[in-house]
Amino acid sequence: MAVLANPLIHLPLYLAKTSFKCSRKSVRTPIIRLSSEDHDSMELSQPSTSQSELQTSDVWLLFTEAQQNILYLNKQRTAALEELSKVKNEIQTLHQRIETLEAGKHKSTGRDESILWELLLRIDSMVLTGMIERGDACDLRKLVMDSKVSLQDDFIPLLQKRDAELLAELRRLSEQTKRNGFYIIHVCTEMEPMISVGSLGPYVTGISRALQRKGNLVEVILPKYKSLDLTEVQGLQEIQTEFYSYFNGQLHGNKVWTGVVNGIGVTFIQPLYNLSFFDREMVYGYSDDFERFTYFSRASLDYLVKLGKYPDVLHIHNWETAIIGPLFWDIFSNQGFAGTRILLTCQSFASQCLEQPEKLELCGLDPSRINRPDRLQDNNKPHLVNLLKGGVVYSNKVVAMSSMNSKERIIQSLGHGLETTLSIHKDKLVIAPYGFDQTTWDPSRDELLPENYSVSDMNGKAICKGSLQRRMGLIEDASSILVGCIFFEISDVDLENLMQITALSGIQFVIIGESKLPSINNVLQTLSGVKDKNVRFINKYDEALSHLIFGGSDIILCYSYEDPVLQVPLKAIRYGAAPILVTSIERRFRHFVELDFGSTQFSQYISFSGMSLKQALYEIKNNPVEWSRKIEEAMLKDFSWDAECYDVHISAYESLKNL
């Protein structure tokens, strides 16, 4: 059997031996051509009958053996092909089953989240009606957030039960499972898409969804602003029972609405007696912002105590909810929060809120205890208290959001007067880059592009480029370098930079945006109308066109690499265009040379494009292969919320667990 394991190996040797035997016989019995006269002598020259029969028999035997081997090989080959076909069918079946499971998983995600939050709201209702104690409610919430429990199999039937039956079943299940992941509650003033006026809104939503996708339970508490459109909230309901919060020496009632936004449980708090606090057109910018957000911060803590919600991490944001730090440790830490820790996130240290110390009494804090240099007293104006400084001092961990700056640079130069405080508390300071929603901005499935593309197949980008050139009335030429620029507001300085850049010959430019100054719009409009100019300007934002500009451009001009709101650099990289600063026509105009390109992956990588526009144009023209390699390498980078931003946050939460 060992010889037959691979017959093809032995066949050439066998045929060689056969050929050798036949050649020897032909030498011994040559073919002789005779005339009729020589017929009589023919018998003397031919071999005997017995010799001829023997020769024929040997040859026939050899060919018979060869034919048998060939038949065996064909049989083995047929069997191998059948086995291969069987394996291919099994692989195809497995792929189909995987796709079905993945589709079912994505399809059921929203359903599972809806079930989860419906159960949590039922538990909240039990607390408010006095059916269960706050400690019991905390244990039941931990059960619901446990990723080991199948929501579909175990919890769906429970939703049809009455509260008493539901409670009994939940208690039974709690004995069979243990909790995984972190329980995180954000107390903040923005969340996309409900309310978002800056970088905080998309950040809260992005990191919350990333955390929950990986097995953590996340809730968000927001003020109920006048401008909120609650029609976007799934399962919206008003909790009828009021809860009271201390403010200005007395208890004030509040109403609460709960629901689900983007798969995240959200609570909206509305004051009953201070309705004007959030019944306004804008979110920020009022003379009583201190009172408004101090009230909301205190009310959020009172609400958590009322319902017995004791998260692992109470995540607060910027100065608006930074006062939760001192409130928590001076008033609330002994009210069931033994396992809770405070994490403060700062989008920037520029906005801090300085106020008279006596105003701290409004929310129940004692100014004499915390108006000190090592606590809330402002570093530069000692007669005032600084809310953001208090958040830094009283938090267990501080996350500074920055995609470009290192921890050292933030402490030394970007503290806006808090440098000394940040230096003292540097061990609890970490830097996290902003994430990116790659589900909305993805060239491989962007429905607004004429042709999709990816790193493995970049042909679609050339099609997008041609489509953009045709739409903008530019010469359709794949070899032309096309530079895109997308903005919402342009200044006189920006206009000057753009004028210098668009003066470059042989380059196509597509600029989209608008200015509050009509004179600037007029200049750009005139520029785009000049004959033989390769410049096109559109003075209003167009969502579909912006996708096409990212898809069809070779270079995207950016006003800053630190762009948490528009995220132009990240979109450019994702769509295979190099992000170049609009102020960088020459190196002397580059304002980012002062950046130290900190330790984040984004800052380390983006530095490959840290060049002037002229340098980028030179590289595209003279080193196209290397340039394409860098672009494709960039497209493969993961800058989503689930990548480095998530890793920094989960590491911070882990460190809090050990405190």
Which string of DSSP letters, residue by residue, matches 346-386?
Answer: ES-SS---EE-GGGGGGGT--HHHH-STTTTB-SS-TTSEE
Is the distance from CB of 572 to CB of 559 less than 8 angstroms?
no
Q: What is the mean pLDDT of residues 533-548?
A: 87
pLDDT at 60: 77
- pLDDT of 266 over the 80 cut: yes
Tell whether the torsion through CA atoms of 240, 245, 247 and 250 is positive or negative. Answer: positive
Residue whose token pair is 């972190």: 182
Which of these ranges, 90-99, 267-276, 277-286, 616-625, has the smallest mean pLDDT? 90-99
DSSP string, 218-270: EEEEEE--TT--GGGSEEEEEEEEEEEEEETTEEEEEEEEEEEETTEEEEEEE
> Would you tell me how many other CB atoms lie within 10 Å of the CB of residue 289?
17
Q: What is the mean pLDDT of residues 588-599?
A: 41
Closest by CA position to 117, among listed 211, 204, 223, 233: 233
pLDDT at 10: 39
Residue whose token pair is 């105590």: 305
Q: What is the mean pLDDT of residues 187-191?
A: 97
Q: What is the mean pLDDT of residues 28-34?
A: 40
Which of these ranges, 282-296, 554-568, 585-599, has the smallest mean pLDDT? 585-599
> Would you tell me how many other CB atoms lie within 10 Å of the CB of residue 79?
10
pLDDT at 112: 59
Cα 100 versus chain centre, distance: 24
- pLDDT of 494 over the 60 cut: yes
- How is residue 585 written in tokens? 């026509």
What ranges in 35-48 are assigned the alpha helix state H?
A: 42-45
Three-state DSSP at 82 gives: helix
pLDDT at 30: 42
Is the distance from CB of 316 to CB of 188 less than 8 angstroms?
yes
Is the distance from CB of 156 to CB of 195 less than 8 angstroms?
no
Helix 289-307 / helix 49-128 crossing angle, nearest 10 deg? 100
- The predicted-structure confidence for 129-158, as pLDDT tens digits, reads as follows 778 877 778 777 777 766 444 444 556 666
Is the distance from CB of 469 to CB of 564 less than 8 angstroms?
no
Rounded Cα distance, 543 and 27, in Å: 89
- How is residue 123 written in tokens? 């538990």
Is the distance from CB of 187 to CB of 297 less than 8 angstroms?
yes
Rounded Cα distance, 323 and 392, in Å: 10
Which of these ranges, 113-117, 180-184, 196-200, 418-422, has the smallest mean pLDDT? 113-117
Three-state DSSP at 291 gives: helix
Residue whose token pair is 């470009």: 404
pLDDT at 149: 45
User: What's this model's pTM, rounded to 2 decimal places?
Assistant: 0.73
What ranges in 231-323 are assigned the alpha helix state H?
A: 289-307, 318-322
Q: How many residues are given for the chain?
A: 659
- pLDDT of 51 over the 50 cut: yes
Rounded Cα distance, 334 and 327, in Å: 11
Computed on alpha carbons and rounded to an integer, the radius of gyration of the chain in Å comes to 37
Q: What is the mean pLDDT of residues 561-581?
A: 90
List the Cα angle 134/137/141 in 5-degree steps. 140
- pLDDT of 303 over the 60 cut: yes
Q: 93 pLDDT band (50/70/90 cuts)? A: low
Percent above pLDDT 70 for the chain: 76
- pLDDT of 450 over the 90 cut: yes
- pLDDT of 177 over the 90 cut: no
Which of these ranges, 114-128, 268-282, 633-647, has the smallest mean pLDDT? 114-128
Burial of 450 (0-12, 13-18, 19+ CB in 10 A): middle
Helix 49-128 / helix 163-174 crossing angle, nearest 10 deg? 130
Q: 87 pLDDT band (50/70/90 cuts)? A: low
Residue 636: DSSP 8-state: T
- The predicted-structure confidence for 209-222, as pLDDT tens digits, reads as follows 999 988 899 999 99
